[in-house]
Amino acid sequence: MFRRRRPNEPPLDKGYIPWLGYALDFRDNSAEFLKRMQKKHGDIFTVHIGGQYFTFLMDPLSFGSIVKEARSKLDFSKFAQALVARVFSYRGLPGDHKHVQASSTKHLMGDGLVVMTQAMMENLQNLMLHGVGSGESGRTWKQDGLFKFSYNIVFRAGYLALFGNESVKQAGSIEKAKETDRLLSEELFHEFRKYDCLFPRLAYAVLPPKEKLEAERLKRHFWNKLSVKKCMFKENISGWISDQQQFRNENGMEAYMQDRFMFLLLWASQGNTGPSCFWLLLHLMKNQEAMKAVREEIDDVIRLSGQKVKPGGELLNLTRDMLLKTPVLDSAVEETLRLTTAPILIRAALEDMNLKMADGQEYGIRKGDRVALFPYLGVHMDPEVHPEPHVFKYNRFLNAEGSKKVDFYKNGKKVKYFSMPWGAGTTICPGRFFAVNELKQYVFLMLTYFEFELLNPQEAIPPIDQKRWGFGSMQPIHDIQFRYRLRF
């Protein structure tokens, strides 16, 4: 309460509510609050939020001073551990983060990504294309919410690719096993969405009693469904999941805590990709030039792979190598993430230290304070770095000759961190390559196998839910209806 700004520190704004400070403003709409503070104080300022002091750095040219700082000075783990304990009731082992990073590098990048891409493809085929060739009944127009449809499909396929499939031996046949996967993953998604809707208020610890009971019920449901014991009866469990189980088992973690970690992995891996798929497909549907360019690129990639998509033909097998040949789609994905992904990157100061800005100015940070970046405002929406930042430009991240564009500028200086949907530095999302592949596979199959259109083409793109700022991919405040059917 009695804190005062020291001569070398950033501007200090404590708010007017004792202890809470600006907690309510920040919780209700983080982006608007930070925009207001930036206008009032400039590109660096310290605010009081719920008994804690946060220094926000808004100048993208200065982001490196935080991203590159040694973990001995700025560490993210204390904040992350507290959040994970509150939201998932999980308490980790020493070396947890290090092991997750190593396992993710092994299984979700490089050669491991080849295996995961194939698993994702097979599960997407099961969920999306099991009706291919079923005659006119399979070609009937169906109506759904685009957000619900996209999130549903991608969540379920990702879950099955990571956590394994129903055993063919137990099901009695391959077709029965696939049908069981479709049914059980649908049930799981239905419950996951309930938890996902509670997540922001759970993270801020502001759930009312009735919803708190519901959150606890849902946690127990997922601990049971994803338990290590039940995983033993699955086939095709990913190396990423089995590695996590083995590490915790060998280090003496109780089975019940391992079950809680499995739920954490499910949310971390599948909580953002589905919403991003919705935004990507919606922006393509609203921008005919973008849709045409992506469709032509997809057709070329399929043709060059030697495959033909036709009635009665083999289902498309979309490999990682094919996904590496899509610069136009890559740019559209990057643009979608720039517009709709808004993580807040937080570090704890482990000692008194100085932060050096790009203009040479230095500011003192106190031990125990938090230092934070909000790239969505700091760089994604900066009109100097990204002209017309609120407009979807599918080729924003392409050079004129079609190569990936990485040169963006502010004040005549090159901006290194021009797009940060995955975070940066030691805390960059280790599953980002798998997630991008999920996005691209979903779009590939939708454009290749389905006819689809918005019910009301003139309907505006829905606004984003402002209460989800800081938690990754944003979600719309309402869904948008579309209709779809198989092409054959």
- For the segment 312-332, what is each residue's pLDDT rounded down to a tens digit? 889 999 999 999 999 999 999
Across residues 473-487, what is the average pLDDT?
Answer: 96
List the one residue out of 245, 256, 241, 190 whose CA is nearest residue 218.
Answer: 190
Structure token digits, residue 375: 């790239």
135 — pLDDT class (breaks 50, 70, 90)? low
CA dist 406 and 403 (Å) reads: 9
Across residues 130-143, what is the average pLDDT?
Answer: 80
The answer on whether 156 is annotated among ligand-binding residues is no
- For the segment 379-398, what is each residue's pLDDT rounded down to a tens digit? 999 999 999 999 999 999 99
Q: In which residue are the tokens 């935080």 written? A: 66
Sign of CA dihedral 285, 161, 123, 301: positive
CA dist 380 and 423 (Å) reads: 12
pLDDT for 136 equals: 65
DSSP label at residue 379: I
CA dist 147 and 133 (Å) reads: 26
Helix, strand and coil content of the chain, in percent to the nearest 5, comes to 50, 15, 35
pLDDT for 49 equals: 94
125 — pLDDT class (breaks 50, 70, 90)? very high
The answer on whether 152 is annotated among ligand-binding residues is no
Across residues 188-213, what is the average pLDDT?
Answer: 94
Distances (CA, A) of 478 to 261, 460, 465, 466, 471: 31, 11, 9, 12, 18
Distances (CA, A) of 345 to 58, 85, 135, 218, 329: 12, 18, 50, 27, 27
pLDDT for 72 equals: 87
DSSP label at residue 6: -
- DSSP collapsed to 3 states, 472-487: CECCECCCCEEEEEEC
The answer on whether 338 is annotated among ligand-binding residues is no
CA dist 277 and 346 (Å) reads: 26
User: Looking at 196-351, which runs of residues are DSSP E strands?
Assistant: 345-349
CA dist 332 and 337 (Å) reads: 9
- For the segment 84-104, what is each residue's pLDDT rounded down to a tens digit? 999 999 998 888 888 899 999
Kindly report the number of other CB atoms within 10 A of residue 206's CB atom.
13
- For the segment 34-58, what is each residue's pLDDT rounded down to a tens digit? 999 999 999 999 999 988 999 999 9
Strands 362-365 vs 44-49: parallel, antiparallel or unpaired = unpaired
Instruction: Burial-class residue 64 by CB neighbours within 10 Å (0-12, 13-18, 19+).
Output: middle
Kindly report the number of other CB atoms within 10 A of residue 86's CB atom.
13
Q: Work out the mean pLDDT of the chain and round it to a whole number.
A: 94
The answer on whether 197 is annotated among ligand-binding residues is no
Give every CB contact of residue 4 below 8 A, 6+ residues apart in sequence.
12
Find the helix or strand (DSSP H, E) in which 354 lies.
Answer: strand 353-356
The pTM (predicted TM-score) of the whole model is 0.95
pLDDT for 138 equals: 64
CB 447, CB 298: distance < 8 Å? yes
